[in-house]
Structure formats: structure tokens, C-alpha cells
Structure 1
Amino acid sequence: MTADVDSERPGERPDRGARDVSGGYELFRDDWGIPHLRAADAHTLARAQGHATALDRAWQLETERHRVLGTSASHLGA
């Protein structure tokens, strides 16, 4: 599954309503963008939760990286 960072509308998740079973788990996002996960075991479910969180929080990692490097102004457009 891939996520397009530049979606057409802010807050729109490209994987909304999509199901991914290639990783051994199922990820479905409802109309509110809330991820719903199904997996055969706890280990796979934890991996799926990490994947969903990473998709939702990639912007935060990038912002924190710029903050640590002291390049926040250029990153945020100032």
C-alpha cells in the first residue's frame, strides 16, 4: 500500500476505504479516516498498527527533523 502525501484535499487519506492484505493484515479506513486493523495474530497486528501510525505521522517526523537541524523556517515556508 502506498500513501500519496499530496492528496487533492487537505486531510483526505488516499487509502480511505482501501483494504490491504499483502502484509498479512487488513487495513481499512472509515469515512472519518480512522484505521481499522485485522490480523491473524498479535505480532502481525502490532506491525499493522505501526504501519498505520507511520502513514499518519510521517509529516511529524519530517517536521521534528527540521527542528533539530535548525531549518524549520525554510521547511515551513518562512
Structure 2
Amino acid sequence: MTPEERLDAKVANEKAEILATLVNGVAGGTVLGGIITPIVVTKQLDLWWGGVSIGGAVLLHLIARLILHDLQLEE
């Protein structure tokens, strides 16, 4: 692997890691917005909305893991 290819792989990996971090952060915000905020404000949890929030957060987390799965080798 040439130095240019190694640098390109490193840059691609950093971009993928940043994107995965962003998606995972959005997943955390989904949980916060869909479950914790309604509990704090209304002192109760809407099970349907909580389930949708958890499902969306899990889906976003899995997307972040897929992004990380496609990292390139930097050998």
C-alpha cells in the first residue's frame, strides 16, 4: 500500500467514525426526547411513543455500527 493509499484509507476511516458518532448521538437524543423528557414533564410514559423512540434509537445505533463495519484497512 502506497503512502497516498494509506492516507486516503485513514481519511475515509476518520470520516466514517465521525459519521457513526453523529448517528449514535442522534440515537441518544431520540431516547432523551422520546422517553426521558415526557417522564420529567408529565410524570408518566406513553408506552406507544416510548416504544417508537426505543425502536428508532436501536435502528440508528445499528446504522452507526454498519458504518463502522465498513472501515478500510490501513496497513
Q: Classify the TM-score, shorter chain.
A: 0.3 to 0.5
Q: Which structure features the higher share of strand residues?
A: 1
TM-score when normalising by structure 1 = 0.35
The higher relative CO (CA closer than 8 Å, separation ≥ 6) is in 2
Structure 1 or 2: more helix by fraction: 2
Return the TM-score normalized by structure 2.
Answer: 0.36
Q: Which has the larger radius of gyration?
A: 2
